[in-house]
Amino acid sequence: MEIYRVDHHRAQLAKLNEFWTRASPGTAILVEDLCPQLVDMVGEVFRKPHPEIFAEHLHRSGHKADYAWEASSDQWVTAGFRKPFCSIRWYRPVFRHDKSYGVDTSRNIQDILIAEKQESEDRILAGNAEESASDTSRHQAPWMTVRTRKKKRQADPVQITSTTNILRNGISLVVDTAAEAGVQTPFLWEEKATVLVPDHTHNETVLILLDPLPVVQNQTGSVELPYTAHRPHRHPPPLLPELDSPKIRALSNQAGPTSTAYDLEASLRLSSNVTGNLQIADPVESLLRIVCQDVASSFELIDASLERIGALSIDDYELQTNLDKWRLQMASFQKVTNQLVQGFQQFAADFYGPGLPNGVAKLHREVGEKAARLLERIASCQSGLRADMSLLESRRGIAEAESVTRLTELAFIFIPLSFVSSLFSMQVNELSSGVPASKFVAAGCIVLIIIYGLRLAIRARSTVRLQKAVVDKARIYNKLTPSDPIPTTGFLLFCCNAIVAGILAISRFCLKPIVWGGGRMWGVWLSLAAVALIVVPTVWLWGQSGLDLSFKAVGTMIFVPACLLFAWLLLSFLYEDAGWSTAMLVERRVRAARRFYSVRAPSPVSSVPTIRDV
């Protein structure tokens, strides 16, 4: 196969005409980086081909400042016509060196150049004849991009100019908050190829329009963008083993990317040399093989970015900071994956028709299978991200509940103090002359201790167990299952029944010696005397008007428990009965408590029990 590669630096009409006249069937002409000279030459050599082939290839190529607003080719007036060309757009995976050459490539170079180009065009239209003349006098230099100048800052005076006519956009795969300087970050570099084949046969000369390497010019000269190739090469591997050693592969991985035209030419020449038949190699199939390699590598980088998102989503701070960015990136990944598969399928169908060659069909299946796996991976990552976000929201709700609990703790402190303050600020006769601060502090501490002690008692384990036992007994009384709510009327009836049963039990216990005395009536009178021993001194204490109120309260709190203890010890000693002994009373109360707490709410029963142990 004969191959001729030409770009705007080697645009010589005589050599191209000479090559065209002696070209054999199946020749491939690779045109890299279109310029006006190349458009004229290709049009003359191919006898004025379809003009939309150049417009299609230059669509959104960056030579216009408003490239983002260009209508896609399927919206053109001639979109429904059959055309002797087809295009394919794909992404090439590379690694960027951020902030090299004074250019912050964490942003797209395309966006920077477009903004600066618009300013330059405004200056030209304003009457800068010298700059306009210098732009129009260029022949070998690019014509579609105007010399641009980055906005100068005091700390970063940088001048950047694009030296290629085609500089497309790309997709950043950075998922971190910010890329560090000098770190290689994954990036998908957009490329496009347009193929013209008369009559759609394989024996005619094939014209392939390709994109160049992105090259910019700064103060030091023309340099390629700081990219590192994701793959060492995109053409078939070397035939000799010594040319494919690990050292050579490592050096190739560190090298910059080569252009698609170079890789396609190398692939075609190697295929022709191996087969020895100039008619065997198919340039379009070789191009699709390169595209398939780039697509597979792009899927690998996207999968690595998804892994990175999964690792970063464990950190709550990273999840909250980058959630919106990750969701947009995943949506972009899905869109790019579907576009790559559809573009590959459409290009193969437009060029080969319904019957695809075996090699192209195999490539199409590989792209479809890898895309399906990647889409499943993206969907799984999205589900995991939603689960992590739900977990984060749950943690946030728990934290807010804990903060509310802390506020409740403070309420148990400030509400009693507010109550005491309100009490002392009221117009009370006993407090009309004012009270010292010590009494206010003492009253506040007492109320605070009582309120907070009540709260602790409510949350105590024994109180919770008692509450659960009461609820279980109420369910049994109302014939309810454990899942049924207890109605208010049913609970009130249960409480009334329990109170009545308790009163009856206490009365039976106290009146038993009277009704069934058995010659022990003196014990009843002794019990009444013990009760009088408690009541009479208390009544006498509160009947003395000359004593202070606080003294009466303190005396009552001390005298009543002491009298109860004395009466109990007296009765226990005089009765000489094991039923009245301290050990027997404690054992009886323990058994009653165990029976009470051991009650569970089973299924509804037929009979209504009564509370007998209180």
Q: Which residue did the predictor score with more confidence, 440 or 379?
A: 379
Comparing CA positions, the residue from 165, 172, 188 lying closest to residue 64 is 165
Rounded to whole angstroms, the Cα distance separating 475 from 325 reads 54
Read off the pLDDT of each residue in 114-131 and give the average, rounded to a whole number: 52
pLDDT at residue 350, as a whole number:
84
- Highest average pLDDT, of 20-34, 170-184, 354-368, comes from 354-368
DSSP secondary structure letters along 393-457: HHHHHHHHHHHHHHHHHHHHHHHHHHHHHHHHHS--GGGTT---HHHHHHHHHHHHHHHHHHHHH
Contact 207, 46 (CB under 8 A): yes
Q: What is the mean pLDDT of the chain?
A: 71
User: Picking from 125-134, 287-296, 312-321, which range would have the lowest pLDDT averaged per residue?
Assistant: 125-134
The per-residue pLDDT for range 47-100, each reduced to its tens digit, is 767 778 888 888 777 665 555 556 677 667 776 777 778 889 998 888 876 655
Count other Cβ atoms within 10 Å, centred on residue 352. Answer: 19
User: Picking from 28-37, 284-293, 337-346, 378-387, which range would have the lowest pLDDT averaged per residue?
Assistant: 28-37
DSSP secondary structure letters along 46-110: TTS--THHHHHHTTTSSSSTTGGGPPPGGGSTTTTS--SEEEEEEEEEEEEETTGGG--TTS-HH
Provide the total of helices (H) and of strands (E) in the chain, helices listed first.
Answer: 16, 10
pLDDT at residue 371, as a whole number:
92
Contact 264, 290 (CB under 8 A): yes
pLDDT at residue 334 is higher than 80: yes
SS3 218: strand
Locus of tokens 């490592």 = 250
SS3 192: strand
pLDDT at residue 101, as a whole number:
47
pLDDT at residue 122, as a whole number:
56
pLDDT at residue 404, as a whole number:
81
Count other Cβ atoms within 10 Å, centred on residue 374. Answer: 23
Phi, psi of 382 (to 5 degrees): -65, -40
pLDDT at residue 338, as a whole number:
92
pLDDT at residue 606 is higher than 60: no
Locus of tokens 């050693």 = 245
Rounded to whole angstroms, the Cα distance separating 267 from 1 reads 11
Count other Cβ atoms within 10 Å, centred on residue 268. Answer: 21
pLDDT-above-70 percentage for the chain: 59
User: Picking from 5-19, 39-53, 455-469, 471-485, which range would have the lowest pLDDT averaged per residue?
Assistant: 5-19
Rounded to whole angstroms, the Cα distance separating 87 from 343 reads 9
Rounded to whole angstroms, the Cα distance separating 94 from 409 reads 58
